[in-house]
Structure formats: structure tokens, C-alpha cells
Amino acid sequence: MYSDNSCTLPRDIGFVGLGAMGAHVKSVYLDPETGIIASLSRTSTRPFPDKLLIDSSTIDTATNLHVKEQLSRFTTSFYDAPVSGGVIGAINATIAFFLGSSASDANLPRLTTLLQTMGGKVIPCGGPSLGLAAKLSNNYLSGVITIACSEAMDMGMRAGIDADVLASVFAAGTAQNTICDVFNPVPGVCPKSPSSNGYTGGFRVQLMKKDFGLAMDMARRVGARNALGVSGLGVYTAASEAEDCRDRDSRVVYRYLGGREDWFHRRKGIEEEEN
């Protein structure tokens, strides 16, 4: 396909990235008229070397494995490579790719070179569909932390602790995490975060609901017990349907849970009066 980790035949490298459900991915690959497999069937006699297909959709692992099986009759290598890092990471090209391949895969050097043109880290997760399994595990944990951070921040603030002070406490203790440090759900704590900008931008709450649900489905298939899963999915489902939360960043669950959003403006007003 290409040598020295450079792309000499870009038509033999295909990227697919759909934030929607698995049915859409099946259509992209399996539609008898317009699907990728139909296209490969029409061109299979052409003297092209092996093709790479890289799918960055966040879908269920079963659909991913089904598509890979359907592609197995072609000289095609198919990899799941979902991303993490959010909108900010995508803009800054610092997103991480969770790659469904082993560390010894012959295509790994080429895959790494390709993916690092768009992101920072490329982590081989062990084999087919395991990049997706890693992404769903990651988003499940991120979703749970967001709810816990929202509850803990609101609880401490209602007890009388300043939000900035409370965030500093979490950062210095065992509760330290990226959500609290970078994407704090309380408006004003992290000035560049979606919460400080009306919960605009970022990762929409409906997408978190979708990924959280996919993670729960995966947990059931593999026999994992998720004690927080049902409650968490309930929160994201309700928030995604609430008029003041829908289409906003997923950290808007702080608003859905009744968190106080006016603390920053009140404190700013007090400081201005004192000065």
C-alpha cells in the first residue's frame, strides 16, 4: 500500500467516523448498492494492494465484529479506532486513538503514522473490537465521574465551601480527576470549559447517553456487574430529554441535578462591592 510509513495511495486508506448508532455503520459497509463492501466487490479484480479501513465510530462491539467478518474475504485490513479527548482535543490534535489491534500487528507502524497526523496517542488495545471496548469503558467511567463530581461540588458548596476552594481540595486529594480539573461542571470554575460558556460545545449529553448505554450493553454481554450503571444511565437519559439540558455538553447533568449555577456571579458582585 505504501512504504516508509508514507501514504502513496490514499485511495487505499479509508476512514469512517459516525457518532450515530451501529445501524448507520452497517449501512455504510453492508448496503448492497452504496456500501463499502459493494464497492470492493466491483473493484476486487483491480491490481490494488491490501487496503486499510479504519473505523472511528463509537458503536457496539458486536456490529464492529460483524463488519470485520464480512470484510474478511477481501484483501482488506479493518480496524476499530475510536477517539477520546473531546472537541478541544480534536481542535488541538491531541485526541487519543484506542486501536483495535495487537502491539505486534504488522500494520501498526503505518496505522500509528496515519492516526498521529490527527491526534497524540495511539494505544493498541489488543485485537479486533477491543479499541471500542476500551472507548466504552472510558466513557462509562467518565460519565460516572461527571455525575459524582456534580453531586460532590453541589454538596460542598451548599455546606458553605467556595467552589474554587472545593475544586482545589479535590485536585490535592484522592478525588483528583480530569473532569474536576479541566471540565468542571460548575460554571466559573474552569473558564474555558463548556460549563462556563452555557454548556455549549463539548460532548453533547445525548451522545453520553448513547455511549453509556452501549457500555451497559457490553457489560451485560461479558458478565460484568455495573452497580452504578442503571442510575447513571437514568440521569443521562433524563438530562438528554430536559429542555434546559438537551443538546448541551454532558456536564450539564450538574444543572439537571439542581446544582447552583449563580455562585460565581454572586461572589463577583460581593467582591465588586468590597472594592
| Side chain identity, residue 6 | S
Is 266 exposed, middle or buried (CB count within 10 Å of its CB: 0-12, 13-18, 19+)? exposed
Residues 6+ apart with CB under 8 A from 187: 195, 196, 261, 264
CB 125 within 8 A of CB 131: yes
DSSP H or E run through 84: strand 83-84
C-alpha 103: how far from its chain's center? 22
Q: Looking at 135, 209, 210, 268, which residue is catalytic?
A: 135
Could you identify the residue written with the cell 454481554?
221
Does the annotation count 192 as an active-site position? no
Q: What DSSP state is assigned to residue 245? A: T
Could you identify the residue written with the cell 472594592?
275
Name the 3-class secondary structure at 44.
Answer: coil
CA distance 125 to 108: 11
Question: What phi and psi values does residue 272 have, to the nearest 5 degrees?
Answer: -65, -40
| Side chain identity, residue 167 | A
Exposure string over 70-96, b if 16+ CB within 10 A, otherwise e: bbeebebbbbbbbbbbbebeeeeeebb
Q: Give the active site residues.
A: 135
